Amino acid sequence: MRTQVAIIGGGPSGLLLSQLLHTRGIDSVVLERQTKAYVLQRIRAGVLEQGLLDLMTEAGVGERVYREGFAHDGTLLSYGDEMFRIDFTEHTDKPVMVYGQTEVTRDLYKAREATDGRLVFQVSDVEIVGADTDSPEVQYTVDGARQTLACDYVAGCDGFHGVSRKTIPETLRKDYEKVYPFGWLGVLSRTPPVHHELIYANSERGFALCSMRNEALSRYYIQCRLDDRPEDWSDQAFWDELRRRIPGEQAARLVTGPSIEKSIAPLRSFVTEPMRWGRLFLCGDAAHIVPPTGAKGLNTAASDVHYLYTGLRQIYEESDAEGLDRYSERALARVWKTERFSWWFSTLMHRFPDQTEFEYKIQLAEIEFLRTNKAAQAAMAQNYVGLPY
Ligand code: APR
Ligand code: PHB
């Protein structure tokens, strides 16, 4: 089999790139390790920047997100019983859209299937051969048979645990990593959100986040120990702890109910450089990971897709390699800015096990400064709604 762009990974990055390429008549094949159902059962963050919305519109999948998504013009930060709002429209010209990542992926699958996209599921033993040559191939096994996909370029959209990053020789690659000493215990419940906007809470007991998917589906998180397991937390224990970490007025309003999903995610900052080796281009979680505090995972994958899509269009439509040659440089410039914001917001809002009393007081002073200083609020708003591509 042959294609122009072999895309490894059928998550948001791979699907968005494939659908965008299709709009320009550039052929791709998406190779996905799991089944479509498995990919769609993943629960992930749901705050979309305008840049991602624009790419979805360009890809022809912008209709439902604007119909069913919730535009948010601000977010709330609390510390102890105090709470204040960061107003996005006061400092930027755009809102964010609350819309589950699962729905983004669902919309992209629907569009790919409607346009006869070549999606191969349950592939295994994927191997990228000749990435540093002019004729790369992707070898894989499906239905027990070994296949070879010849291509012009390979997009490694296979996430943190994929094969693409590891294909780049370690002697040519440098990884940067920070692992946080806590995790997020998340619960999905068929209950009305405690507030119509998100609440990021710093409390003496640890971080909490009140989010949502729609008016009847809420998503909550509390910072937890790394050795915690979801089964260690009954629903009641979760709700009781969440109430302790948010302002009393919000705790009194909280509507609780059975968890329909309960999971723990570790927090990590990670970047690999470069994001290109020959004709292999890393995109999304394959190249970088952020702690979810700033909701930048999907949105940074989107800017990678934008840069790679632009470079591939240039080479195919104008025989100009400038976009591909500068892909890694351009993508990493924005990646590091979102890594910084995600690290800063995580450090500001979480309690660290080894945090001294002085450091806690500094944390509270920085939150108080954010509460009272318009320049600080503008910086936060501009990062949260999304820095320019
Ligand atoms: N071969 C084929 N597919 C693979 C392989 C492999 N060797 N390894 C992983 N995959 C698939 C995974 O099953 C997954 O569906 O690649 C896909 C990668 O998707 P994501 O991990 O969602 O990464 P990405 O598409 O870059 O999206 C980034 O998703 O994980 C969240 O927080 C992350 O919001 C961010 C967004
Ligand atoms: C979510 O709704 O899952 C969510 C929202 C904002 C974040 C992280 C997660 O920063």
User: Is residue 13 in a domain?
Assistant: yes
Residue 86 placed within a domain = no
Both tokens of residue 182? 């806590």
Look up 384 and say whether it is catalytic. yes
Is 153 part of any domain? Answer: yes
Instruction: Give domain status of residue 91, yes or no.
Output: no
Kindly give the distance from the C-alpha atom of residue 194 to the centroid of ligand 1, in angstroms, as a whole number. Answer: 31
On whether the CB atoms of residues 25 and 2 are closer than 8 A, the answer is: no
Atom of ligand 2 nearest to the CA of 98: 2
Model pLDDT, residue 206:
97
| 105 and 213 part of one domain | no
Whether residues 248 and 373 share a domain: the answer is yes
Query: First vs last Cα of the chain: how many Å apart?
Result: 34
Q: Report the pLDDT value the prediction gives residue 42, as an integer from 0 to 100.
A: 87
> What pLDDT is recorded for position 217?
94
Q: Classify 211 as helix, strand or coil.
A: strand
Give the separation between CA 194 and CA 215, rounded to whole angstroms. 10
Look up 22 and say whether it is catalytic: no
pLDDT at 44: 84
Helices (H), 279-373: 297-318, 322-325, 327-349, 357-372
Count of the separate structural domains present in the chain = 2
Cα distance between residue 104 and residue 15, in whole Å? 10
Segment-wise mean pLDDT, segments of 10 residues, the chain, 389 residues? 97 98 98 97 90 98 96 96 96 94 96 96 98 98 98 98 98 98 97 98 97 95 97 98 98 98 96 98 98 97 98 98 98 98 98 95 97 98 97
Q: How far is 226 from 228, CA to CA, in rounded Å? A: 6
Q: pTM (2 decimals)?
A: 0.97
Residue 89 lies in a domain: no
CA of 358 to the centre of ligand 2 (A): 29
Q: Is residue 80 part of a domain?
A: no
Question: What six digits make up the tokens of 192?
Answer: 């009305």
State whether 54 and 104 are in the same domain: yes
Helix (H, G, I), strand (E, B) or coil at 135: coil
Looking at the structure, tell me whether residues 55 and 189 fall in a common domain.
Answer: no
Q: Cβ(279) to ligand 2 under 6 A?
A: no
Asked if residue 295 belongs to a domain, the reply is yes
Instruction: Specify whether 66 is catalytic.
Output: no
Tokens (6 digits) for 167: 């294909």
**Looking at the structure, do residues 251 and 325 belong to the same domain, yes or no?**
no
221 is catalytic: no
Same domain assignment for residues 156 and 290: yes
- Model confidence pLDDT, tens digit, residues 131-171: 999 999 999 999 999 999 999 999 999 999 999 999 999 99
CB of 44 shorter than 6 A to ligand 1: yes
Cβ of 101 less than 6 Å from ligand 1: yes
- What CATH code is carried by the domain that includes residue 52? 3.50.50.60
According to DSSP H, which parts of the chain are helical? 12-23, 36-40, 50-58, 63-68, 88-91, 101-114, 164-167, 235-245, 248-253, 297-318, 322-325, 327-349, 357-372, 374-385
Query: Hey, which residues does 2 pair with through a beta bridge?
Result: 150
The answer to whether position 81 is within a domain reads no
Q: What single letter denotes the amino acid at residue 29? A: V
- Ligand 1 atom at minimal distance to the Cα of residue 9: 16
User: For atom 22 of ligand 1, which residue has the closest CA?
Assistant: 11
Decide whether any atom of ligand 1 lies within 6 Å of the 136 Cβ.
no
- Could you tell me if 50 and 137 lie in one domain? yes
pLDDT of residue 169: 98
Q: Could you tell me the CATH number of the domain that includes residue 245?
A: 3.30.9.10
Q: Quick one: pLDDT at residue 93?
A: 87
Gap from CA of 160 to ligand 2 centroid (Å): 19
Domain range enclosing 34 = 5-72+96-177+268-345
Statement to judge: residues 63 and 126 lie in one domain: yes
132 Cα to the center of ligand 1, angstroms = 23
Annotated catalytic residue, options 200, 309, 316, 327: 200
The pLDDT of residue 45 is 82
In the reported structure, the alpha carbon of residue 75 is separated from the centroid of ligand 2 by a whole-number distance in angstroms of: 11
**Catalytic (active site) residue 296:** yes
Residue 61 CA, ligand 1 centroid: distance in Å: 20
- The number of the ligand nearest the C-alpha atom of 98 reads 2
The answer on 276 and 260 residing in a single domain is no
Q: Mark whether 362 and 258 lie in a shared domain.
A: yes
Q: What is the spatial distance between Cα 220 and Cα 179, in angstroms, rounded to a whole number?
A: 22
Residues 58, 22 within the same domain: yes
Site of tokens 């943190």: 160
Is 291 a pocket residue for ligand 1 (Cβ < 6 Å)?
no
371 and 288 within one domain: no
Q: Whose CA is nearest to atom 7 of ligand 2?
A: 295
Nearest CA to ligand 1 atom 10: 158
- Please name the residue whose Cα sits nearest to atom 3 of ligand 2: 45
| pLDDT value at residue 21 | 98
